[in-house]
Amino acid sequence: MNFPAFVYRQSSYALLAEALLLVLFCGTIDWLSGLEVSMSLFYGIPIMFAIWFGDRKSGLLVAILCGITWWWADILAGHVYSHVWVATWEPASCFGYFAFVAVGGAALKEKHDAVRARIALLEHTQRLEREIIEISEREQRRIGRDLHDGLCQYLAAIGCAAATLRADLLRQDLLEEAAVAEELAELLEKGVVQTRDLARGLVPVPMEEDGLPFALEGLATSVARLQNIDCSFRVQGEVKIGDTSAATHLYRIAQEAINNATRQGHANRIRIALPAEGPLATLSVADNGHGLSRTAAESPGLGLSIMRYRARLVGGEFAMNEPDDGGTRVVCTFPQREWSMEEEDAAA
């Protein structure tokens, strides 16, 4: 049981009653301990208790009650003062101490509350940021799916119709019209390819449990083919990503790391790896380029901070270093999670 949370949940009357009990307890101990031992320090406990879990007003009230109780215990113990000014000074200094604890405690509590409020605001902002990113990624996936399943199929169907029309026109010896139909069919085919590429960019990772390894394999192959460099991917063990959203974040990290390796590091060899070990899995992208230290000052860029942010979103840690044999290595270590289809994706 969380003690502070339990006390916070109580009503203000219950808190005040508990503080009073503490005051009485301190007063009794003060009385029983006699005149030789001073117990005034301990009265700070009920005052702080009332301020911390209640408010400034109840703290001040408890401080006054502490003063009265201390005085009462002092009289009951039979304290005889040698001078009037000592009899005045002693209670006054005690009251002063209690008032100081009350005011100081209240200031401390205010500071503590302000820090808590700031942390709560920060957490709220981070949650909002995360939700905005999740929503935008989900929207992108939805648009990608619609493009693939809607427009792509529609263009393909028109393309088929244009090809049939061309064949009919050829049969009727209408060569000019047949050429136009052929051009139309070719244009439609290009349209299908472009729409499919667009859809693939919006849905880079298939919505399946092993979607990420599959997508990274495809990414490595296309980088190797299009940029004419040695780019390979290797998966080790059974990697559990959790959901499409996490898989997409990891894919985007790999994409940016590859972009940096070719654009900034001018690498001609890139190794993408996805090994799983126990509760953790790692995505690493290592290149044989110029290395961070030789290029890092060139531009502030956004890529690194976005990669770091995405790593945080999947509950992982991001690191970038220069291995001894040169180049740059980007590493994102993340916790493995059982696969679950997100509501939105499952509904699609």
Ligand X SMILES: Nc1ncnc2c1ncn2[C@@H]1O[C@H](COP(=O)(O)OP(=O)(O)OP(=O)(O)O)[C@@H](O)[C@H]1O
* Residues contributing to the site for ligand X (CB under 6 A): 260-261, 264-265, 287, 289-292, 295-296, 298-299, 301-304, 328
- CB closer to ligand X out of 228 and 299: 299
- CB closer to Mg ion out of 96 and 301: 301
Q: How far apart are CA 329 and CA 289, in angstroms?
A: 10
Q: How far apart are CA 252 and CA 205, in angstroms?
A: 10
- x-or-dash pattern for Mg ion, window 248-287, by CB under 5 A? ------------x---------------------------
Q: Which stretch binds Mg ion (CB under 5 A): 16-24, 76-84, 229-237, 295-303?
A: 295-303
- Nearest-approach distance from CB 308 to ligand X, in angstroms: 9
Find the helix or strand (DSSP H, E) in which 235 lies: strand 230-236
- CB closer to Mg ion out of 301 and 315: 301
When CB distances are held under 5 to 8 angstroms depending on the partner's kind, the choice from Mg ion, ligand X, none that residue 59 binds is none
Q: Are 151 and 195 in contact (CB under 8 A)?
A: yes
Q: Among 91, 206, 218, 303, which residue interacts with Mg ion (rule: CB under 5 A)?
A: 303
- CB closer to ligand X out of 9 and 263: 263
When CB distances are held under 5 to 8 angstroms depending on the partner's kind, the choice from ligand X, Mg ion, none that residue 133 binds is none
When CB distances are held under 5 to 8 angstroms depending on the partner's kind, the choice from Mg ion, ligand X, none that residue 199 binds is none
- CB closer to ligand X out of 176 and 298: 298
When CB distances are held under 5 to 8 angstroms depending on the partner's kind, the choice from Mg ion, ligand X, none that residue 261 binds is ligand X
Q: Which stretch binds Mg ion (CB under 5 A): 145-153, 190-198, 203-211, 301-309?
A: 301-309
When CB distances are held under 5 to 8 angstroms depending on the partner's kind, the choice from Mg ion, ligand X, none that residue 328 binds is ligand X
Contacts of 188 (CB under 8 A, 6+ apart): 155, 156, 158, 159, 162
- Nearest-approach distance from CB 334 to ligand X, in angstroms: 20
- Nearest-approach distance from CB 249 to ligand X, in angstroms: 16
Q: Are 283 and 332 in contact (CB under 8 A)?
A: yes
Q: Are 46 and 3 in contact (CB under 8 A)?
A: no
> Which alpha helices (DSSP H) does the chain contain, by range?
3-9, 12-32, 44-53, 56-76, 84-146, 152-171, 175-202, 211-227, 244-263, 292-295, 303-313, 343-347
When CB distances are held under 5 to 8 angstroms depending on the partner's kind, the choice from ligand X, Mg ion, none that residue 192 binds is none
Q: How far apart are CA 221 and CA 242, in angstroms?
A: 25
- CB closer to ligand X out of 33 and 295: 295
Name the residue whose CB lies closest to ligand X: 301
Which of these, 204, 186, 187, lies nearest to 148 by C-alpha position? Answer: 204
- CB closer to ligand X out of 94 and 307: 307
Q: How far apart are CA 19 and CA 9, in angstroms?
A: 15
- Nearest-approach distance from CB 305 to ligand X, in angstroms: 7
When CB distances are held under 5 to 8 angstroms depending on the partner's kind, the choice from Mg ion, ligand X, none that residue 302 binds is ligand X
Both tokens assigned to 190: 């290009």
SS3 168: helix
- CB closer to ligand X out of 87 and 320: 320
- Nearest-approach distance from CB 264 to ligand X, in angstroms: 4
Cα-based distances in Å from 320 to 133, 135, 306, 330: 23, 28, 13, 5
- CB closer to ligand X out of 181 and 272: 272
Which of these, 124, 126, 128, lies nearest to 116 by C-alpha position? Answer: 124
Q: How far apart are CA 274 and CA 346, in angstroms?
A: 26
Residues that bind Mg ion (CB under 5 A): 260, 301, 303
